[in-house]
Amino acid sequence: MHIYKKILAQFNLFTSANTKFVNEGKIASLMNSFKVDEFGHEANLKNSDLGYGWIHYGLVRQQKPKKILCVGSRHGYIPAVLAQACKDNGTGLVDFVDAGYGEDESGGWTGVGYWKTKEGKNAFRKFGLGSFLSLHVMENTKFAKIKAKTKYDYIYIDGDHSLSGVILDFKLFWPILEKNGYIVFHDICVKGYKPEGLYGVWKFWEMASKKLNSISIEFIGSGLGIIQKKC
């Protein structure tokens, strides 16, 4: 049995309701449909290995959050994994927000303009996840104002990776995270200049993880940082 499946089995996740997803055919289909970035998520399409997706999927299956927020995704891989976990739980809803900026637009941190297209807008419904995910094509500041009174149990941050960008996301969304909820940051290990700009999530994480109740998963790849809100 694959090591990730062994871990999931410990959480009693291999129920009859779940077997349609946790098999290689279904996993590969999701990875293909949402164009997984194998390098960025330590995933392997050939082996139907979700990589970091397993961590999100396992936490959502075990914790069963009612409200999930996902900020940013190039083609929807992680929001799709989160929505699939909700579907397999039979409960929960993902609010996925992305401005939909393209590569040549200011603020489009590795964005390809996908969420403004007809294909992007229909991607989750086409895959059978439409009832468990709501797509919001808008800037994070506008979304935060609309959802100012909404509380989330699980928040994933993968938007603007500059230091100022990730600090803004933290300021916007930490206040609406429920006590004991989780906020997760992608790319906590990536440093230096890339074509899209100077990465600063690592620097934010270095500061935040010392002050908050954090779990760092930074020993392989781009890294994933998890904070559980305790106050």
Spatial neighbors of 60 by CB under 8 A, at least 6 apart, are 68, 82, 85, 86, 89, 92, 154
Distances (CA, A) of 20 to 17, 26, 78, 150, 205: 7, 7, 18, 32, 36
Predicted pLDDT of residue 219: 64
Predicted pLDDT of residue 188: 94
Predicted pLDDT of residue 21: 77
User: Three-class SS of residue 126?
Assistant: helix
* E strand intervals along 23-131: 67-71, 93-98
Per-residue pLDDT of the chain (231 residues; tens, 9 = 90+): 455 555 555 445 444 445 567 765 789 999 999 999 999 999 999 999 999 999 999 999 999 999 999 999 999 999 999 999 999 999 999 999 999 998 877 777 888 999 999 999 999 999 999 999 999 999 999 999 999 999 999 999 999 999 999 999 999 999 999 999 999 999 999 999 998 899 999 999 999 998 888 887 766 789 999 999 987
Element (H, E) at 37: none
Q: Which amino acid is at 172?
A: L
- pTM (two decimals): 0.90
* Every domain of the chain and the residues it spans: 52-228
Neighbour-count burial of 231, counting CB atoms closer than 10 A to its CB (0-12 exposed, 13-18 middle, 19+ buried): exposed
Q: What is the 3-state secondary structure (H, E, C) of 134-147?
A: EEEECCHHHHHHHC
CB < 8 Å & 24+ apart, contacts of 201-206:
201/161, 201/163, 201/166, 203/163, 204/163, 204/166, 204/167, 204/170
Number of helices (H) and strands (E) in the chain: give both, helices first.
Answer: 8, 9
Please state, in angstroms and rounded to a whole number, the distance separating the CA atoms of residues 112 and 114. Answer: 5
Please state, in angstroms and rounded to a whole number, the distance separating the CA atoms of residues 72 and 87. Answer: 21
Predicted pLDDT of residue 103: 80
CATH class of this structure's domain 52-228: alpha beta
